[in-house]
């Protein structure tokens, strides 16, 4: 599965031809295509993120649902909450410029980038400390192994 950037996905949604007949995808194919479980798709539906059409008990996903799922997965990948993803997606207006949606996406992205950079700094510190500790343990181990082997001889 190839995830596109947010900008590419937003542009694809905004430029999708409106007069082409909808092609429907069943839940199993949707899950397989995007590498998610059926339970995940149902959960996103329960949360109002996806709204497949129904044919009896069968869920039928449209191109719109597929585009929304791409955005959901991208948002989750970069650390947005489902609430944040929904706020951004729900601002989409097929007849509008979507400037408000894009501003919100940019604002939330800038804030998330700050959070991720802080996390990266903390992780880098932890890696440094762990590396130092491992070096100390290796040194202690190398000093004690010759003594232990000579004691057992």
Q: What is the CATH number of the domain that holds 17?
A: 1.10.1660.10
Total domains in the chain come to 1
pLDDT score for 25: 96
Confidence of residue 30 (pLDDT cuts 50, 70, 90): very high
Q: Which domain holds residue 72?
A: 6-101
For the residues of the chain, what is the DSSP string, one character each?
--PPPHHHHHHHHHT--SSSPP--EEHHHHHHHHT--HHHHHHHHHTTS---EEETTEEEE-HHHHHHHHHHHHHHHTT--HHHHHHHHHT--TTS--HHHHHHHHHHHHHHHHHHHHHHHHHHHHHHHHHHHHHHHHHHHHHHHHHHHHHH-
Confidence of residue 26 (pLDDT cuts 50, 70, 90): very high
On whether residue 152 sits in a domain, the answer given is no
Q: Are 61 and 25 in contact (CB under 8 A)?
A: yes
User: Looking at per-residue confidence, does 86 or 6 come out higher?
Assistant: 86
| Residue 2: C-alpha distances to residues 5, 16, 77, 95, 148 (Å) | 10, 19, 13, 28, 54
pLDDT score for 7: 54
On whether residue 140 sits in a domain, the answer given is no
pLDDT score for 13: 46
Confidence of residue 150 (pLDDT cuts 50, 70, 90): low
User: Looking at per-residue confidence, does 150 or 49 come out higher?
Assistant: 49
On whether residue 117 sits in a domain, the answer given is no
pLDDT score for 122: 98
pLDDT score for 8: 54
On whether residue 109 sits in a domain, the answer given is no
On whether residue 69 sits in a domain, the answer given is yes
The pTM for the full model equals: 0.72
On whether residue 43 sits in a domain, the answer given is yes
Compute the CA torsion angle 5, 90, 79, 11 (nearest 10 deg): 10
On whether residue 62 sits in a domain, the answer given is yes
User: Looking at per-residue confidence, does 45 or 19 come out higher?
Assistant: 45
On whether residue 111 sits in a domain, the answer given is no
pLDDT score for 19: 41
Structure tokens at 64: 């719109």
């Amino acid at each position: 599965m190839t995830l596109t950037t947010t900008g590419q996905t937003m542009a694809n949604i905004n430029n999708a031809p409106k007069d082409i007949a909808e092609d429907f995808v069943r839940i199993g194919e949707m899950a397989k295509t995007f590498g998610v479980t059926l339970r995940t798709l149902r959960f996103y539906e329960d949360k109002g993120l996806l709204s497949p059409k129904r044919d009896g008990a069968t869920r039928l996903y449209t191109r719109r649902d597929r585009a929304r799922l791409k955005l959901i997965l991208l948002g989750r990948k970069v650390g947005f909450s489902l609430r944040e993803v929904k706020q951004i997606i729900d601002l989409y207006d097929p007849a509008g410029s979507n400037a408000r949606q894009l501003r919100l996406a940019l604002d939330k992205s800038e804030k998330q980038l700050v959070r991720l950079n802080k996390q990266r700094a903390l992780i880098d510190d932890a890696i440094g400390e762990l590396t130092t500790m491992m070096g100390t343990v290796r040194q202690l181990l190398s000093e004690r192994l010759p003594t232990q082997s000579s004691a057992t001889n």
